[in-house]
């Protein structure tokens, strides 16, 4: 992927946090590991009916993505928003 003229390549792992001697987190988290510069990015996920929200850093952050999926699950649209910027997107499921 390329973003703002910068190549982005890495691995994102998604799941619940489960630290030793602690309960499993209610929230679903992900961490992105960049192959190019060692950058790590954390996200929190929430799915309610047909709306997916992903916050950067922590729940209720002002840097987030909200996407709505069609009831048949074939199309989606949404936007990333952060202080001073953002972008919108649309997509469809490939079969």
Position 57 in a domain: yes
pLDDT greater than 80 at residue 93: yes
In a domain, 29, yes or no: yes
In a domain, residue 28? The reply is: yes
| Domain presence at residue 95 | no
CA angle 89, 51, 93 (to 5 degrees): 55
pTM score, two decimals? 0.82
d(CA 64, CA 83): 10
Domain total of the chain = 1
Residue 82 within a domain:
yes
In a domain, 38, yes or no: yes
pLDDT at 55: 97
pLDDT over threshold 90, residue 91:
yes
HSE at residue 16, side-chain half, CA atoms within 13 A, is 7
Please give the average per-residue pLDDT across 8-34, as a whole number. Answer: 94
Q: What is the pLDDT of residue 6?
A: 80
Average pLDDT, the chain: 92
Examine residue 51 and state whether it is found in any structural domain, yes or no.
yes
Reported as a single tens digit per residue, the pLDDT across 49-75 is: 899 999 999 999 999 999 999 999 899
> Is 75 contained in some domain?
yes
**Structural domain of 14:** 2-90
């Amino acid at each position: 992927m390329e973003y703002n003229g910068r190549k982005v390549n890495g691995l994102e792992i998604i799941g619940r946090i489960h630290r030793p001697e602690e309960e499993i987190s209610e929230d679903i988290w992900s961490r992105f590991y960049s192959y190019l510069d060692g950058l790590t990015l954390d996200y929190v996920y929430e799915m309610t009916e047909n709306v997916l929200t992903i916050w950067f850093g922590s729940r209720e952050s002002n840097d987030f993505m909200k996407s709505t999926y069609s009831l048949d699950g074939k199309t989606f649209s949404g936007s990333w928003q952060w202080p001073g910027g953002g972008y919108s997107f649309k997509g469809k499921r490939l079969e």
